[in-house]
Every structure is written in structure tokens, then in C-alpha cells.
Structure 1
């Protein structure tokens, strides 16, 4: 008998066709035994034959409730991952997640039904389907700490991609603070004494880590720091602020903004790095063929995604046996030397 002969195939229908109880079908499907149930091999073979002939596919949510793994890893993004302006950030990250899932033999399920409000998705809502997956990777610059705390309280198996302050949330992140601090110390060693820092307004942990690295690095290197918050929409105003600051070093959080400011420097005859050094705290997106190679942080986003999958797989396999110290991991962040950091300009 085939699926077309019976309509929707259920466990109850499988049991009828095989001449057994529905609970027996459930035991065979989930590969479970409580020690008191012994299913003869010929009965198992009969059930499996009916399953094959009907093309039955188990409901993944029912399997999760029964304690069986579906080999499905969920991916939830607080910000949409596929708009053009997000591709450069998310593409290597998603590539790493895909590679990690292939390594552990799991499929990926991208949760996209959550409503978007103010550019961010809500993790818990009436269409929540998180439990379809064995475990979930969380992506986003900013995450709701109340939602993260609820995940911990309700024992969801999750790993955040990026460092999180919420107690109990496992994560794999990037050590932005150390790398940003090292950039500022290098600049101090090249004679820079005045620096202006252009950054976004955000309470995301990765943003705060980069900011902390810049502030601490400037203090350790003896640099006077001018701080400017910007959303990058008025590049001319940002450039005017840079020129008026008298700084010989410009630190820009967003590499796209740094590239735009480099174009204005060329327009105004400001030589980089002879007159002004410029460094960015992230990977450049699509630099032009003639653009200078930015000195910048080069976060290993593909490795970040792959390592997050590995940690989630460990938690799914070993549960509480995974030590607390190994549930929160920071990867070192390389620095690309580039062409835009040089010795401080002589006072003009």
C-alpha cells in the first residue's frame, strides 16, 4: 500500500497496516526501549516494511517530545540575514554554520516566521517553532536578555553566536576587546597621540567589547581620545568632525564607513597614512580595485559559525557533562596589517 492509497500517513495507520499497537510503532521509530518492552525482530521488520512502502515521515515535533533527536539544528537571527547590507556580515558566518552542520551530520532549519519589530525579531511569539530543532544557534548583534534568561529557565538547548552577558547562555564569540586594544597600542608605538573614534550606538556585547578595547588601548598608549557616535548616514558630517578634531589617527567601527571616509580624504588631498592613519574594527565588505587595503580587525566569522555548531553538538550529546568553562568560548581576532596605519604625521 502506498501513500496515495491512504491519504495522510500517521503512526496509527502504520500500526493498523502492520497489525500492531501504536505504542509498538513509536518504540520502533524512536529506537527506544525501557528494558521491559521486547519487540521481536520479525515485528520490527514488518513495521519498517510498512514505513518504507508508505513513505511515512515522522513528525519532528513529536520526535522531540519523545526525546529523540531529529538531527536538525535551528538558526534564529534577531536581524534579517539576507538583505544586501547584511550579506557581508552573515555570509561567512552562515557558511561556517553550514560546514559545521555537515561535519556533525545535521540539517539546518532557519527560523524566519518570527515577527520583525523595529528591525529585530522576537524569539518567543505565538508561532514559535523552536522545539522542532534539537538545538538552536542564536545570531544577532543585540539579543533580548529577558528572552535569553527564559531560554535558560526553560532548558532550551541553544548556543549564542557572539559573547553574551546573560548567565547560563553558552556562546562562541570573538575577543574584540583584546584585538582593538592591540590596534591602539600599535598606533601609540608609531607616535600617535590624538585619536578620534567613530562608532555606532548599540548595547550589543560585541559593540561594547570593541569600544572597551579602544578606550583601554588608548589609555594604555597615552592617547587622547575623541569619541563620536554615528549611524554612518552623514559621511560629510563625520569627515568634518575628523578634520576638526586634529587627530592623526581615525578609528572607525564600521569598515564601510571607513572606506567612505577614505574616499573623502582622497577628494580633499589628505594622504593616508602620511597625513592621517585610518583603522577599522571589522572586515571590509567590497573594497574597490583602487582602494587602499584597510588596516583592520579580521574577525574569523566562518570559524565562529563552525565552532558554534561544534559546541551545540557537544551540548546535545553530553548535556551537563560539558564543563561550564567550555560552554563560553572566545576566539582570538587577527589583525590585518593593511596600508592605512603609519607613523604619526608631523604637526602642521
Structure 2
């Protein structure tokens, strides 16, 4: 039965836990941890009424806020594993995954927990193996997953064995719902398609796989649904090959939507070689941040991914799940549109519907 406010827990073996306090107060376990550890001096904002509700629950239950006793009682050690399928953990500030780690680190500091980078897993076929022999994943309370692609068997096993985890990036169900904090790619991509249609573009091309990782699937879905709603013609180009680009332009395509922003230099070089000006003759739109290091001089129209905030909120979701607190365990955060200078009105006479 739930413990009601004003009633202390009794019984020879029953110890009030941090989880109990969270349930009584109607807050997440992470919030209880912040109040208990007095972590209010480092920029954390907790409403006074919420803080007081937690303190009242502590007083009414006779909870003893001893850090060691609390961790033993909860069977948690405040260590969160971070696992990436990339062969090397991101360290440079220009690495695509670096902002995710920054968000994780900043939130871990505020929550008073430590991050354990799970680097001992062997790399096979260019990717780490989570459950390889000697895996130390169970040293932590659970883990946060990073990576463009996540092994489906690993997700299924995590769900089946009840290992607490959160994915940075949307993931399809794997024998059950997968907790994640992702970017809302469909909405951002659709907004850019609408902009192109409003500027008179009647034939668009999507350049990229549009398959594999959920992030690619989501981009293509947003593109296709918005294009259909706007009544514009679409063309699929799995790769930015010169022959395919030539055929698209010859067929009346006036705007390219690039799944991988790192393709911009190659495409602008191709356009320059064909005497096509960007955006006078051909508009370019990128769907996110480059996953590969690249130098792009153009101010390209597109959107940016809230990578740091995704990392930060991943820990919020993790602690809420760890404490059995009610939370939205599948979150999509909005991307920020960037006007840039590569999406302009469609050139007269080149559109074909």
C-alpha cells in the first residue's frame, strides 16, 4: 500500500527508502536526491512548495538521510554507465556525440551521481559489444546508450532482463517499450518542406538512406508526409552521386534535402561544376548536424539537433524510472530551425509538377 503523509513506517525490518519519499511527495527520485544532498546551490531550480513537500515527507516518516545507509537500502550506488557503439568515445568538441556527453556530465553533477564510461567492451566489426564476456555493465545502476545505430539484440535483452537504461535517440520497441530522449526529426523536416513549397518549389529530392537508424527513417517520414500534403513531387537519391544529381535536376528538381549535412561540400562542388548557383538555381536544405567532421563555409538552411539537452534529459528519465516515479519515458525534443542562406524562391521555368 502507498504510504500516506503523516504516517511513519513501522515494522522491525522495514526501512523508509528514498523511493518511498519520492512516492509520498509525488516527485521523481532525482528531485528527492537533490533535496537530500542540498544540491540547490549549483543552479538547480526546485519550487519551494515542492522542496517543502519532500522535507515534510522526510520528517513525517522518520527517514534518516544518511548517504551510505540510503544507498544500501535502495541498492543503488549512484553510478550510471554510458555505453556507445562507436569504436572510440567522443572526446573532441567537433565530434557529433560530444554535446550529448556534455549534457550527461552536467546533469550528473547536479544530480550527485557519477558516470562510468563502459570502454572495456571489445570492438568487433567496428562496434562495441555490450554483453561480451567480462562486460561490466552491471557495476552501474543502469546505463545510457549513445550511438547512431543500436544493436537490436542488446535492446531486447535490456528490456527482457529489466536492466534500467535510457537511449539517447528514439528507438523502436524491442520486446517492449524502449525509454528514450530523441529529437523530433519529422516535425522539423516537415517545417522545412513547407517553407520550400511556400517559396514555389514543386519538385524536391531527398538525398540519403532514409532507412536503417530510426533517425533516418524519421527524417524521410517527415519529408514524405509534408511533401504529399503540399502536393509537391519528390525524388529519392540514396547517395549524392553526380549522375543521380544530374538526372534529378534535368527532371526539374529545384531543392535538395540532405539527410547528411556532411555531403554539402561534395554537392556544392558538383553544382559549381555544372554552373548551378546555390541558391539561385538550386536550393540546399540540411536535416541536422553533420555526423562526420567537415568544414562547411556556406550558411546552410536547416535545423540543429538539441544534443546537449537530450543528454541532460536522458538522466532525468533514467532516475525517474529507477525510482518508479511517473514520467514521460519516451520524449521527443524540438529541433531549432535555422534560416540560413541556401533556400530561396524556386527558379522560374525549372519546376515540373
The two structures have a TM-score, normalised by structure 2, of 0.73
Measured after TM superposition, the shift of residue 304 of structure 1 is 0.7
* C-alpha distance in structure 1 between counterparts of 2:250 and 2:83, whole Å: 43
Report what 1:252 is aligned to.
258
Corresponding position: 1:79 with 2:81: no
Partner of 1:59: none
Deviation at 1:84, TM superposition (A): 9.1
Structure 1 position 168, deviation (Å): 2.5
User: 1:267 Cα deviation (Å)?
Assistant: 4.2
* Pair 1:277 & 2:279 matched: no
Q: Which residue matches 2:234?
A: 225
Matched, 1:95 2:106: no
Q: Of residues 135, 139, 149 in structure 1, which corresponds to 2:146?
A: 139
Higher mean C-alpha displacement, 151-160 vs 136-145? 136-145
Check 1:84–1:279 CA distance in 2 against 1; reply closer, same or farther (3 A cut): farther
8 Å CA contact retained: 2:184, 2:335: yes
Residue 65 (structure 1) shift: 9.5
Correspondence 1:307 to 2:313? yes
Structure 2 CA distance for aligned equivalents of residues 83 and 241 of structure 1:
38
1:115 Cα deviation after fit = 2.6
Structure 1 range deviating more: 65-74 or 81-90: 81-90
- Determine if contact 1:283/1:298 at 8 Å carries over to the other structure: yes
Distance 1:220 1:305, change over 3 A: same
- 2:212 maps to 1:203: yes
Aligned to 1:97, what secondary structure does the other structure show? helix
Partners of 2:269 and 2:99 in 1: how far apart? 26
Q: What corresponds to 1:214 in structure 2?
A: 223
Deviation at 1:286, TM superposition (A): 4.9
CA deviations over 1:24-72 (Å, ceiling 9, x no partner): xxxxxxxxxx94699xxxxxxxxxxxxxxxxxxxxxxxx9998532221
Q: How far, CA to CA, are the matches of 2:120 and 2:73 in structure 1?
A: 25
Name which structure has the greater RCO, CA cutoff 8 Å, separation 6+.
Answer: 2
Residue in structure 1 matched with residue 347 of structure 2 by the alignment = 345
Q: Distance in 2 between matches of 1:306 and 1:239?
A: 39
Where do 5+ consecutive residues of structure 1 fail to align?
1-33, 39-62
Mapped partners of 1:309, 1:146: distance in 2: 23
Report SS of the residue matched to 1:88.
Answer: coil
Q: Where do residues 1-348 of structure 1 align in structure 2 (5 Å cutoff)?
A: 35=12, 68-82=75-89, 87-166=94-173, 167-200=176-209, 202-230=211-239, 236-237=242-243, 239-284=245-290, 286-288=294-296, 291-316=297-322, 318-319=323-324, 321-323=325-327, 326-347=328-349
Once residues 247 and 116 of structure 2 are traced to their aligned partners in structure 1, the CA distance between those partners, rounded to angstroms, is 45
Report the alpha carbon displacement of residue 82 of structure 1 after superposing the two structures with TM.
Answer: 4.0
Contact 1:72 1:133 in 2 (8 A): yes
CA offsets 1:276-325 (integer angstroms, 9 cap, x no match): 0000111255544xx22000121110111111111112222x22x324xx
Deviation at 1:263, TM superposition (A): 3.3
Larger helix share, 1 or 2: 1
- Offset of residue 114 of structure 1: 2.1
Which protein shows a greater Rg? 1
Q: 1:129-185 CA deviation, whole Å, 9 max, x = no partner?
A: 111111200112222233212111111010011111112221111110111111111
TM-score by length of 1: 0.74
Contact 1:76 1:138 in 2 (8 A): yes
Aligned-residue offset at 1:116 = 2.5
CA contact (8 A) 1:196 1:245 kept: no
Aligned-pair distance for 1:187? 0.6
Q: State the alpha-carbon separation in 2 of the partners of residues 74 and 83 from structure 1.
A: 15
In 2, Cα distance between equivalents of 1:72 and 1:138: 14
Change over 3 Å in CA distance of 1:37–1:343 after alignment to 2: closer
Query: Structure 2: 5+ residue runs without aligned partners?
Result: 1-10, 16-69
Preserved CA contact (<8 Å) 1:175 1:330: yes
The root-mean-square deviation of aligned C-alpha atoms, in Å, is 2.8
Q: How many residues align?
A: 283
